[in-house]
Amino acid sequence: MDFENGQKTGFFLDQKYNRLAVSRIAKGKKVLDCFTHTGSFALNAAMGGAERVTAVDVSETAVEMARKNAERNNLDGRMDFLAADVFDLLPELEKQGGKPYDFIILDPPAFTKSRKTVKNAERGYKEINYRAMKLLPRGGYLATCSCSHFMKNDLFVKMLHDAAADAGVQLKQIEARQQCCDHPVLWNVPETDYLKFYIFQVV
């Protein structure tokens, strides 16, 4: 992790139990981890027994840190790393045809940091979730989240419903989660209720 220049140390401790949830599902699966940053979801998927994990981030620096983390954990033999824009990569994978992954993880940065940009953020979230749903085979899994408190849960859920309808798929909810307990939600401080994390199966 880059403590000096990275974001929040680069590990995002609020997701630690959500990574374990991903690890429990990943065994034997071909996993695509989008917005991997330092590789934490990808590493947990590999440690959970994934057949193969592809970790993607637009930042070459982040991808290099993820690669080194895989080496430190003796996981590099089952992991690939790609520096690419997820918004370009997902449509390109769809054009290539086939269903190369049966588990896709979407952990993007906050697409909105103000109420004024919520609509633009909603379009961004819908685009990546729609593309992921189109790529997954029946029985495949999708882990998806938003870390912006401006993207309220009801709006995030509506976006997922719309994305599934447009992709022509049906979703079975496996888990609905939030941040872990050391990032508590204080009911009188709305900003603390920020992380939405869902795991679905395409049925």
Exactly one of 34, 145, 147, 180 is catalytic; which is it? 147
- CA 73 from centroid of its chain's CA atoms: 21
Contact between 40 and 7 (Cβ < 8 Å): no
Strand 103-106 and strand 141-146: the pairing is parallel
DSSP, collapsed to helix, strand or coil, labels residue 140 as: coil
Task: Give me the count of residues in the chain.
Answer: 203
- CA 127 from centroid of its chain's CA atoms: 13
Q: Which residues contact 33 (CB under 8 A, 6 or more apart)?
A: 39, 41, 42, 45, 53, 54, 55, 56, 105, 107
- Opening angle at CA 122, ends 118 and 125, nearest 5: 135
Whether 145 is catalytic: no
Reading the block at residue 35, the tokens are 């917005």
CB atoms within 10 A of CB 180: 16
Instruction: Measure the CA–CA gap between 82 and 60, rounded to whole angstroms.
Output: 8
Task: Point out the residues that are catalytic.
Answer: 147
